[in-house]
């Protein structure tokens, strides 16, 4: 709404301006200045009809009073007027006091001032008024103007905008910045009053006297508009918000004839008062007459003061650049540029300094290079000398290396023998003795067992020959040597003896087990000049005895653990039975319950004498009891710890028995047990009870590893003379790091497990000369072992294959 | 509907032997090999009782018991198990089992418990049925008829009832005849007996 109105006002203002421009150009063009024609320019700031009428009547009056001249008015805009003045087209001018002050420098002088009358008093001053709606009680002073919009005619208007601007400035308020909005209508001042009435703006700026005139004419209802920031001036009855300034002036321009001006001045002062109003309406006491007449020129000091304060022409700020302003506005930039220059200069200085230094160091470098070349020559000579020394050293080292290599190869041999898994303990010992004998270049070696370490060692009768290598004829000599020369052998050290008479040499060392002498190792051979028993050889011998010692210890421990393991087998068997007890209770209870039901039913029928029915009942109860007996027999067979037997038995039947035993457990876990085999019976040799236990353990583990509703497959595959038994489950498999440990006793992944099951299984399988293997497959894991087929079966199967 | 004992056990021998035993005392049985098979045919309001084994695949006895209670809260359930422990028995009884019997059991004891269960259940069902009939009978009465019945039960004459209710004696007589015919009684003494039964069952007798 405000926007469209604004636009409208702007448009109309433009049209006005255009119209005036056109008019003034028309006037200037159509009426060339005549000798007796006097042009009176009028600043077209006040556009009321009454204004025009008054100016017209004034010039008409002047034409009448000074008949030799014809006076014409030329209303123009500010710019048109300035143009016309510059071209000397005007002789007189009716304009605002501000315009007069601006023109004073070009010699314009006032010859009369407009007079107004109101309430019987004549005045030649006027002010400006700030108006708002009567009901806006919040608008009384400048306290809350920030939220208000203000409206004025034009920024060049003296009798309104400029006066109020000055007034606000005196109160410390900037009209441009301190309001919500500042708008210019460019129309008439009545429009401003109307805008306030329509609430297009909060505050309006108009000339003093306008309100009173509008009320008088009836175009404005009384008490609708109030004056804002009201002032009281003595002898000035009109409403005003500002100081008062001189009224409009009748001006003589510089080129105008002074005599004519004086004539005009006198004529104006004598002009009858209120020539307009006297014709239209009767003079009343309250009446306001804006065009009462003309009087003598007034003082323009207040107007000058205003123009100076607002920096308006002729007091507009000069465009001359002052040094202080320059500093104020561009200070920072100047300082920055200065700093930049200083930095640049400093860095140039620094670079030149560095350049000089560089030159110096270059010279020094050249000097150093020359020095270095000399030094290098000297050094090369020294190095060649050192090189010769080194070459000699290398030769010495090579011989040492040869010895080392020899001992390394023998050590490698030691290692291979000791690590070889396919040799038995005694085989390893023999190989070791042979290797050492060849390495030490001896004829024969003997290993004696020391029967009683606490007795005197000098009696060879306590020594028992355990093992030997090489020529056995040397033994006599060896025994003799030890007896005669080593009466008090020191256990820890190698005893070396060389006899030049019989041309023999001998090395011996005591082997200790549990820090007790246990074995005696003796090497004997012919004395050969070039053979040497080096330090390395000594260490080798020490190492060898240590190995033999620890091997003996290990053997003893293995024997112990074998016994322990067979005992454990019994213990686990009992544990397994305990774990199955609750399952078995149910298994046995079922047929027993059924039998009880049948028999008591029979007893009841006995009274009714129904023999046929009783027979059925008794038969069925017998079936149930037989089932219970089967279960118990299974259990007994399982618990019995028989002496390991090797007998021929049917593997399929055995496995089926085990699966029967486990069926309740499988049902609880909702696991299916499948036996996959092509043959209905496979006879194998072994201990049936032990094999059943292995299968039971493996299948139980598989059931526990399976998720519910999984299945466990047991498959039998005949491979030549053996049958391979595989137990597969569908579960999470075994983790790689656990693979190693699962066969160890007391290792278990189950919270209640003893960790004995797999250890026992392995020992049983190994007792049947097979290996228990475990693998992860893509679904879970599988355990495998092999059993030998019974001889008859083996032949039979092969015969079938051949056929 | 005929009284029947339902046997749920996954073991065929046990199932059939129990049928044979119960047959000897002339009790009809129906056999089910799983809890689901039983639940498929079971519905609320049946006479008889059910015997469950605890250890069964899919739905075990304890769970099946809970499911049966959801269908018919009053149906007697006897749980039988081969390896009972005290907490399990306690839980079963707390959840409203009729009895918890351990295998192997004394056949006499089992038969007795079955009989008791059947009798108690059918008595309760009869009681329930009567209660239902009385409720329907008394719910037919209008508010005014209930007020008249109240007066009659307090031994008041038609005149004093009329005074109490501010209506004419004739109207009282009409109401009285109506309520007698609605309750299907001929004499006052029959009416009183019916009312006492209803009161016993807490069926809202007249205010």
Pairing assessment for the beta strands A672-676 and A711-719 based on DSSP bridges? parallel
Q: For position A6, what pLDDT does the model report?
A: 45
pLDDT tens per residue across span B87-123: 888 888 898 999 998 887 888 899 999 999 999 999 9
Domain's final residue, options A228, A259, A283: A228
In chain B, how many domains are there? 2
Q: Are residues B122 and B174 in the same domain?
A: no
Residue B43 in any domain: the answer is yes
Task: Give B102→chain A minimum CA distance, Å.
Answer: 10
Distance from CA of B24 to the nearest CA of A (A): 6
- Whole-Å CA distances, A176 to A165, A183, A313, A518: 9, 10, 19, 121
Whether A347 shows a pLDDT value over 90: the answer reads yes
A729 vs A705: CA distance, rounded Å = 7
Q: What confidence tier does A232 reach under pLDDT thresholds 50, 70, 90? A: confident
- The pLDDT assigned to A460 comes to 53
Which residues of B sit within 8 Å Cβ distance of A? 11, 13-14, 16-18, 20-21, 23-25, 55, 57, 80, 82-83, 103-105, 107-108
pLDDT at A531: 62
pLDDT at residue A479, rounded to an integer = 76
Place of tokens 């601006």: A102
d(CA B52, CA B6): 9
HEC string of A214-239?
HHHHCCCCCCCEEEECCCCECCECCC
Give yes or no for A622 touching B (CB within 8 A): no
SS3 of A669-698: the string is CCCEEEEECCCCCCEEEECHHHHHHHHHHH
User: Could you give the dihedral angle defined by the CA atoms of residues A394, A400, A401 and A403, in that order, rounded to the nearest 10 degrees?
Assistant: 160
Put simply, the answer to whether A593 touches B21 (Cβ < 8 Å) is no
Q: Do A601 and B16 lie within an 8 Å CB cutoff?
A: no
- Is residue B28 domain-shared with residue B114, that is, in the same domain? yes
Among chain B residues, CA nearest to A599: B21
Instruction: Please report whether residue B9 resides in a domain.
Output: yes
CATH code of residue B71: 3.40.50.2300
Q: What percent of chain A clears pLDDT 90, i.e. is strictly above it?
A: 8
In terms of domains, do B120 and B151 share one?
A: no
For the cut 70, the answer to whether the pLDDT of residue A803 exceeds it is: no
Confidence of residue A581 (pLDDT cuts 50, 70, 90): low
To test the contact with chain A by mutation, choose from B17, B27, B54, B102 the residue with the greatest count of A C-beta atoms within 10 A, namely B17
> Can you give the C-alpha Rg of chain B in angstroms?
25
More confident residue, A712 or B86: A712
**Which domain covers residue A618, as residue numbers?**
560-641
Exposure b/e, A303-318, CB count within 10 A at least 16 = b:
bbebbeeeebeebeee
Asked if B150 and B95 sit in the same domain, the reply is no
Last residue of a domain, one of A290, A310, A330: A310
> Can you give the pLDDT at residue A4?
41
Q: Given an 8 Å threshold on Cβ–Cβ distance, is A589 in contact with B105? A: no
Interface mutation target, options A588, A590, A666, chain B, most CBs of B under 10 Å:
A590
Residue B147 has pLDDT above 80, yes or no: yes
pLDDT number for residue A530: 60
Contact A509, A540 (CB under 8 A): no
Choose among A38, A52, A69, A68: nearest CA to A253: A38
Q: Is residue A501 over pLDDT 80? A: no
DSSP A623: H
Question: Where residue A640 falls among pLDDT bands split at 50, 70, 90?
Answer: low
B94 lies in the same domain as B147: no
What is the mean predicted confidence (pLDDT) over B41-60? 87
pLDDT for A568 equals 63
- As a whole number, mean pLDDT of residues A732-753 equals 65
Q: Across the A/B interface, how many CB contacts are shorter than 8 Å?
A: 70
Closest-CA residue of A relative to B106 is: A596
Q: Do B82 and A589 touch (CB under 8 A)?
A: yes
Joined tokens for residue A773: 């293997």
DSSP chain B: ----EEEE-S-HHHHHHHHHHHHHTT--EEEESSHHHHHHH--TT--SEEEEES--SSS-HHHHHHHHHHH-TT--EEEEESS--HHHHHHHHHTT-SEEEESS--HHHHHHHHHHHHHHHHHHHHHHHHHHHHHHHHHTS-HHHHHHHHHHHTT--HHHHHHHHTS-HHHHHHHHHHHHHHTT-SSHHHHHHHHHHHHHTT-----
Task: Count structural domains, chain A.
Answer: 5
What average pLDDT does range A113-130 have in this prediction?
A: 85
Q: What is the mean pLDDT of residues A580-609?
A: 79
B24 vs A contacts (CB less than 8 Å): 600-601, 604-605
Question: In this complex, which of A600, A621, A624 lies closest to B107 when CB atoms are compared?
Answer: A600
Which residue has better confidence, B138 or A572? B138
- Window from A95-109, A129-143, A355-369, A564-578 with minimum mean pLDDT: A564-578
For residues A523 and A610, state if they share a domain. no
A316 pLDDT more than 70: yes
Among the residue ranges A161-175, A339-353, A499-513, the one predicted with the least confidence is A499-513
Beta strand pairing call for A203-207 and A444-450:
unpaired
Which residues in B lie closer than 8 A to residue A668 (C-beta atoms)? 55
**Are B105 and B30 members of one domain?**
yes
pLDDT score recorded for residue A318: 65
Contacts of A406 (CB under 8 A, 6+ apart): A439
Do B46 and B115 lie in one domain? The reply is yes
CB-based contact A403:A396 (threshold 8 Å) = no
Asked if the C-beta of A605 comes within 8 angstroms of chain B's C-beta atoms, the answer is yes
Contact assignment for B14 to A597 by CB distance below 8 Å? yes
Segment B119-138 shows an average pLDDT of: 87
Q: Check residue B119 and give its pLDDT.
A: 93
B101 and B164 inside one domain: no
Q: Is the pLDDT of residue A708 over 80?
A: no
Is A510 among the domain residues? yes
Q: Is residue A325 part of a domain?
A: no
For residues A41 and A170, membership in a common domain is answered with no
Residues A43 and A189 in one domain: no
Name the residue with higher pLDDT: B206 or A134: A134
Contacts of A359 (CB under 8 A, 6+ apart): none
Residues B166, B187, single domain; the answer is: yes
Alpha-carbon distance of B131 to B201, in angstroms, equals 7
- Expressed as residue numbers, the domain containing B181 is 140-200
Residue B144 maps to a domain: yes
Question: Could you tell me what percent of chain A has a pLDDT over 70?
Answer: 82
Least confident of A54-68, A616-630, A659-673, B154-168: A659-673
Q: Is the pLDDT of residue A659 over 90?
A: no
Average pLDDT for A402-431: 82
**Is pLDDT larger for residue A47 or for residue A179?**
A179
Which residues lie below 8 Å from residue A363, measured CB to CB, with a gap of 6+? none
8 Å CB contact of A597 and B20: yes
B164 and B77 in a common domain: no
A789: which DSSP letter? B
Say which CATH number the domain at A519 has.
3.30.450.240
Q: Name the domain boundary from A518, A533, A548.
A: A533
Q: Are residues A115 and A259 in the same domain?
A: yes
Same domain for A207 and A163?
A: yes
Residues A11-20: tens digit of each pLDDT? 455 555 555 5
Identify which of A592, A627, A670 has the shortest CB distance to residue B104: A592
Decide if pLDDT at A355 tops 80.
yes
Chosen from B9, B14, B102 to mutate, greatest number of chain A CBs within 10 A: B14
Judge if A654 and A782 occupy the same domain: yes
Residue A797's CATH number: 3.30.565.10
**How buried is B85 (Cβ within 10 angstroms: 0-12 exposed, 13-18 middle, 19+ buried)?**
exposed
**Per mean pLDDT, which range of A22-36, A256-270, B141-155 is the poorest?**
A22-36
Give residue for tokens 């506005």. Answer: A329
A667 contacts in B (CB within 8 Å)? 57
pLDDT of residue A89 exceeding 60, the answer is yes
- Picking from B17, B55, B57, the nearest residue to A597 by CB comes out as B17
Find the range with the poorest average confidence among A540-554, A741-755, B66-80. Answer: A741-755
Checking if the pLDDT of A515 tops 50, the result is: yes
Residue B145 and residue B123 share a domain: no
Cα–Cα distance, B107 to A595 (Å, whole number): 11
Tens of pLDDT, residue by residue over A264-302, are 888 888 888 776 654 444 444 567 777 888 888 888 888
Residue partners of A459: CB distance under 8 A and separation at least 6? none
Which residue would you say has higher pLDDT here, A559 or A615? A615
Per-residue pLDDT, A75? 86
Cis peptide before A800 (omega within 30 of 0): no
Residues of chain A found within 8 Å of residue B20, distances taken between Cβ atoms: 597-598, 601, 617, 620
Distance CA A80, CA A28 (A): 10
B105 contacts on A by Cβ (under 8 Å): 593, 596
Residue B132: inside a domain: no
Inter-chain contact A670–B83, Cβ cutoff 8 Å? Answer: no
Higher-scoring residue by pLDDT: A192, A632: A192
- Residue A90 and residue A275 in contact, taking contact as beta carbons nearer than 8 Å: no
Spatial neighbors of A704 by CB under 8 A, at least 6 apart, are A669, A750
Final residue belonging to a domain, choices B127, B148, B183? B127
In this prediction, residue A281 carries a pLDDT of 47
Residues 6+ apart with CB under 8 A from A291: A50, A51, A54, A114, A116, A274, A276, A277
- A506-510, A521-525, A535-539, A637-641 — which is least confidently predicted? A637-641
Q: How far is the CA of A52 from the CAs of A1, A271, A334, A382, in angstroms? A: 33, 17, 57, 125
Q: Read off the CATH number of the domain in which A171 is found.
A: 3.40.190.10
Residues A626, A649 within the same domain: no
pLDDT at site A403: 82
Indicate which of B10, B24, B31, B88 best probes the interface with A, i.e. most A CBs within 10 Å of its own CB.
B24
Mean of pLDDT over chain A: 79
pLDDT > 60? residue A753: no
Q: Which of A1-15, B5-19, B177-191 has the lowest mean pLDDT?
A: A1-15
Closest Cβ–Cβ partner in B20, B23, B103 for A593? B103
Distance separating alpha carbons of residues A213 and A209, to the nearest angstrom: 6
**Do residues A665 and A787 both lie within one domain?**
yes
What ipTM is given for this predicted complex? 0.71
Percent of chain B whose predicted confidence (pLDDT) is above 90: 30
- Token pair, residue A243, equals 């100081």
Determine the average pLDDT of the residues in B72-76: 90
B17/A621 Cβ within 8 A = yes
pLDDT at A33: 43
Residue among B25, B57, B107 whose CB faces A596 most closely: B107
């Amino acid at each position: 709404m405000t926007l469209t109105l604004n636009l409208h006002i702007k448009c109309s203002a433009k049209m006005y301006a255009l119209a005036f421009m056109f008019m003034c150009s028309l006037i200037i063009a159509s009426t060339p200045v005549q000798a007796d024609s006097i042009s009176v320019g009028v600043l077209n700031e006040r556009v009321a009809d009454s204004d025009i009428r008054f100016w017209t009547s004034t010039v008409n009056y002047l034409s009448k009073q000074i008949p030799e001249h014809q006076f014409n008015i030329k209303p123009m805009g500010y710019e048109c007027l300035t143009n016309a003045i510059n071209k000397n087209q005007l002789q007189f001018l009716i304009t605002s006091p501000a315009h007069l002050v601006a023109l004073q420098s070009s010699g314009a002088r006032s010859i009369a001032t407009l007079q107004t009358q109101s309430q019987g008093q004549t005045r030649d001053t006027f002010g400006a008024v700030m108006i708002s709606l009567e009901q806006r009680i919040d608008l009384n002073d400048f306290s809350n103007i920030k939220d208000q919009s203000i409206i004025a005619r034009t920024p060049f208007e003296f009798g309104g905008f400029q006066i109020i601007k000055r007034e606000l400035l005196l109160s410390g308020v900037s009209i441009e910045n301190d309001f919500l909005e500042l708008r210019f209508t460019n129309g008439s001042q009545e429009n401003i009053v109307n805008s306030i009435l329509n609430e297009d703006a909060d505050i309006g700026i108009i000339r003093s006297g306008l309100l009173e005139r509008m009320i008088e004419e009836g175009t404005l209802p009384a008490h609708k508009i109030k004056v804002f920031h009201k002032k009281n001036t003595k002898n000035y009855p009109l409403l005003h918000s500002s100081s008062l300034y001189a009224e409009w002036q009748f001006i003589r321009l510089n080129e105008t004839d002074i005599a004519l001006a004086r004539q005009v001045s006198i004529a104006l002062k004598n002009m009858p008062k209120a020539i307009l109003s006297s014709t239209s309406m009767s003079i009343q006491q309250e009446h306001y007459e804006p065009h009462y007449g003309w009087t003598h020129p007034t003082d323009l000091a207040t107007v000058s003061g205003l123009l100076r304060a607002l920096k308006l022409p002729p007091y507009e700020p000069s465009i001359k650049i002052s040094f202080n302003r320059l500093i104020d506005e561009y200070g920072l930039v100047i300082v920055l540029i200065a700093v930049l220059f200083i930095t640049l200069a400093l860095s140039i200085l620094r670079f030149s300094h560095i350049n000089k230094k560089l030159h110096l160091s270059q010279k020094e470098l050249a000097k150093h290079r020359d020095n270095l070349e000399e030094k290098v020559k000297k050094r090369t000579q020294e190095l060649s000398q050192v090189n010769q020394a080194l070459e000699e050293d290398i030769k010495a080292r090579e011989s040492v290396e040869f010895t080392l290599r020899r001992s390394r190869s023998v050590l490698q041999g030691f290692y291979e023998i000791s690590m070889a898994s396919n040799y038995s303990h005694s085989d390893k010992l023999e190989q070791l003795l042979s290797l050492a004998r060849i390495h030490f270049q001896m004829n024969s070696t003997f290993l004696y067992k020391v029967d009683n370490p606490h007795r005197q060692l000098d009696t060879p009768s306590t020594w028992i020959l355990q093992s030997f290598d090489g020529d056995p004829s040397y033994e006599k000599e060896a025994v003799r040597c030890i007896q005669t020369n080593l009466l008090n052998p020191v256990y820890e050290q190698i005893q070396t003896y060389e006899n030049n008479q019989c041309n023999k040499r001998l090395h011996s060392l005591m082997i200790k087990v549990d820090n007790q002498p246990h074995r005696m190792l003796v090497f004997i051979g012919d004395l050969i000049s070039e053979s040497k028993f080096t330090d390395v050889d000594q260490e080798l011998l020490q190492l060898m005895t240590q190995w033999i010692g620890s091997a003996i210890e290990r053997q003893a421990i293995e024997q112990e653990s074998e016994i322990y393991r067979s005992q454990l087998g019994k213990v686990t068997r009992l544990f397994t039975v305990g774990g199955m007890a609750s399952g078995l209770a149910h298994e046995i209870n079922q047929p027993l319950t059924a039998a009880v039901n049948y028999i008591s039913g029979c007893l009841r029928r006995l009274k009714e004498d129904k023999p046929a029915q009783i027979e059925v009942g008794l038969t069925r109860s017998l079936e149930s009891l037989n089932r219970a007996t089967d279960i118990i027999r299974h259990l007994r067979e399982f618990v019995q710890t028989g002496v390991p037997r090797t007998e021929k038995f049917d593997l399929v039947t055995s496995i089926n028995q085990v699966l029967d035993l486990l069926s309740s457990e499988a049902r609880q876990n909702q696991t299916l047990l499948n036996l996959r085999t092509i043959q209905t019976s496979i006879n194998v040799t072994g201990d049936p009870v032990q094999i059943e236990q292995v299968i039971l353990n493996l299948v139980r583990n598989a059931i526990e590893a399976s998720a519910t509703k999984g299945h466990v497959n047991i498959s039998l595959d005949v491979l030549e003379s053996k049958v391979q038994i595989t137990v597969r489950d569908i579960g999470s498999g075994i983790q790689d790091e656990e693979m190693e440990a699962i066969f160890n006793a007391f290792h278990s992944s189950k919270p209640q497990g003893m960790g004995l099951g797999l250890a026992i299984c392995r020992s049983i399988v190994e007792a049947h000369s097979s290996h228990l293997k475990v693998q992860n497959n893509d679904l879970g894991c599988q355990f495998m072992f092999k059993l030998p087929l019974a001889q008859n079966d083996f032949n039979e199967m092969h015969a079938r294959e051949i056929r | 509907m005929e009284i029947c004992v339902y046997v749920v056990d996954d073991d065929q021998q046990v199932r059939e032997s129990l049928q044979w035993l119960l047959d000897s005392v002339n009790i009809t049985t129906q056999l089910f090999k799983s809890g689901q098979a039983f639940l498929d045919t079971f519905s609320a309001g049946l006479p008889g009782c059910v015997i469950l084994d605890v250890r069964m695949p899919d739905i075990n006895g304890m769970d099946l018991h809970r499911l049966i209670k959801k269908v018919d809260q009053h149906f007697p359930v006897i749980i039988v198990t081969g390896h009972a422990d005290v907490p399990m028995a306690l839980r079963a009884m707390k959840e409203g089992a009729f009895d918890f019997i351990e295998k192997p059991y004394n056949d006499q004891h089992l038969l007795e418990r079955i009989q008791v269960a059947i009798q108690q259940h059918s008595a309760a069902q009869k009681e329930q049925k009567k209660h239902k009939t009385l409720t329907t009978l008394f719910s037919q009465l209008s508010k005014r008829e209930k007020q008249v019945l109240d007066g009659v039960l307090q031994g008041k004459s038609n005149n004093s009832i009329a005074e109490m209710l501010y209506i004419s004696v004739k109207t009282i007589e009409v109401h009285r005849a109506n309520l007698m015919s609605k309750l299907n009684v001929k004499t006052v003494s029959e009416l009183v007996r019916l009312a006492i039964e209803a009161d016993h069952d807490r069926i809202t007798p007249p205010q």
